[in-house]
Structure formats: C-alpha cells, structure tokens
Amino acid sequence: MRSTDVIAVSQDCVTLVYIIAGAMSVDSYGEQTEYSAGDALLFTGRQRHSILTSDHAFILVSTLRFTEAAAHLLELLPDILNVRNLAADEPAVAALASQLGPTLGHGGNDQYDQLGSSIVCRMMANTVLVSIIRAWVLRGCAPSNWPSRTNDPFFDRVVEAIHADPGAEWSLERLAQVSAMSRSAFAARFRAATGTSPASYVTGVRIRSAQELLASGLGISDVSRAIGYESDDGFSRAFRRYVGKTPSAWRLDAKKRASASAIL
C-alpha cells in the first residue's frame, strides 16, 4: 500500500526531502516523477506538491531557511530541485541529511531529536543545503544568471569551455590542459573545491543541453551525437540517471506541457 502526503512550504523557505530507503513519486502540475533511495529534493514555496511513498519507505522531510544575504538565490531555483544519487556522490552530506528532521513512511526513528544544540543543527542544515545546491549547479542545471560556479579562474576557464561545446571529447587530459594543470593535480583540486568529479559535471551539462535539443524537436540519435555520446543506449542511460525518465518519455511530456501552455 502506498500513502500520499502534501509538501507545502513558505515563500522564504525550502523543504528538503531525502529518501533514506524505499521510493516515492512526486505529482507536480499533473506529472509524476519517480525517485529512489539516495535521491535528494528541494521544494520551493511556489507550489504544493503531492508525494506518494512506497511500502517501507523511509523519507526525511526538513524545512530549511535561506539567510537574508542568500535569499535572492531562492528566486533562481526551480519549483523542484533534485539531485539523484546524493548518497553515492556525497555520502557525508547524505549522512547529515538523514539526521535533520522527521520522517514519512515506515522505519523512522527519533534520532534527530537527540542532536542537542540548535547551533549545531543550524550548521548541519546549512552544510546540507549548500552541498545539495552546489551538486545541482555542478551538474550543469543552474540558469545562466546563477552566480559564478567557482572563485578560481582556472576552474572558470574549464567551465566556460565545457558550456561552449558540451559535445566535445572532454577527457580528463583535455580538461587539465585547459586549466593549465597536470591531470592528477587538476582532478584532485577540482574535487577538493567542488565535491564532485569533472566527469560528473560534464555529464550534467550534456544532459541539460540534451533537454533543450529534445524540446526543440531534434531526434534522439541526433541529440545523442550532438552532445558527445557514441551510442543512443549510452545517452539514454545517462539521461535517465539524471532526469528520472527516458529521453523519449521526457520529450513527450515536454510536448504536452507546451501544448497545455499554448491552450492557456
């Protein structure tokens, strides 16, 4: 049996939903998207969303507030920001997230009540919020007016090159050349500064570009080649891993949304 809950937050907050175990689907604007254990989502306060949890699901829900200095960033976030596989890519952040608030579904516990100092809680919440948004940005999902991704001119040079030509063969060696570093130094410095790998960032940019091309009507094979994939299967696997559905399913949904907007 599955149960339904409603996510609703105030305008100056976001709600963190982190799936510790099991799975859930989110109903937003009439469209359902599936998420599984290890995925993290941030919901803004613009829209009420229904989530359907599976049997034995263990899902954390926590309300987080932006500081006054960072409140303007909330306007740049989508209604739902998702970072899939957070547990695999950011295990330390995922461990913190699992302690931040009450849970939905079965198998929950009250460990979050034992954290003690509210200052410690705020520090943990801030770390989780910043890390999730950073992961989202580094996967190439941020809008063009998002603040600079790094404060390092070497990395900015790399980011600009990737966005200028997502379909290029961005090997570690080539990225290191752009940054004017050795491969080992570049890889270590990139991960230390951003918490993710260069390959993960490149994939995020490519998938974002793929969404734009699919929405424009370009065929799946053409999109696959345009963003640097040698096979449609490889592209489809990467797309589904980041978006939660196949390219063809996503394109069909995009067409439906466009048609609905045109009618309205």
Mean pLDDT for 118-147 is 72
CA-CA-CA-CA torsion for 135, 140, 142, 148, nearest 10 degrees? 80
**Please, what CATH class does the domain formed by 153-263 belong to?**
mainly alpha
- Inform me whether the pLDDT recorded for 201 exceeds 90: no
Residue 135 has pLDDT above 80, yes or no: yes
Q: Per-residue pLDDT averaged across 72-95, rounded?
A: 82
Q: Which residue has the higher pLDDT, 152 or 82?
A: 82
Which percentage of the chain shows pLDDT scores above 90? 19
Q: Are 7 and 48 in contact (CB under 8 A)?
A: yes
Instruction: Count Cβ atoms within 10 A of the Cβ of residue 27 and give its class: 0-12 exposed, 13-18 middle, 19 or more buried.
Output: middle
Phi first, then psi: give them for residue 60, nearest 5 degrees: -85, 140
Tens of pLDDT, residues 12-57:
678 888 999 999 998 876 778 899 999 999 988 767 778 888 778 8
Spatial distance between the Cα atoms of 64 and 94, rounded to a whole number of angstroms:
15
pLDDT number for residue 150: 54
How far apart CA 98 and CA 2 sit, in angstroms, is: 22
Q: In terms of Cα–Cα distance, which of 196, 222, 226 is closest to 209?
A: 226
Task: Sort strands 31-36 and 23-28 into parallel, antiparallel or unpaired.
Answer: antiparallel
Q: What's the mean pLDDT in 122-143?
A: 78
70 pLDDT exceeds 90? no
pLDDT of residue 109: 43
Q: Is the pLDDT of residue 171 over 90?
A: yes
Asked whether residue 249 carries a pLDDT value surpassing 50, the answer given is: yes
Partners of residue 32 on adjacent β-strands: 27
d(CA 200, CA 207): 11
Q: Which residue has the higher pLDDT, 70 or 161?
A: 161
pLDDT range class, residue 115, cuts 50, 70, 90: very low
Chain mean pLDDT for the chain: 77
Percent of the chain with pLDDT over 70: 72
Judge: domain 3-138, CATH 3.60.20.10.
no
The pLDDT score that the predictor gives to residue 111 is 40
- The residue extents of the domains of the chain are 3-138, 153-263
Higher-pLDDT residue of 196, 227: 227
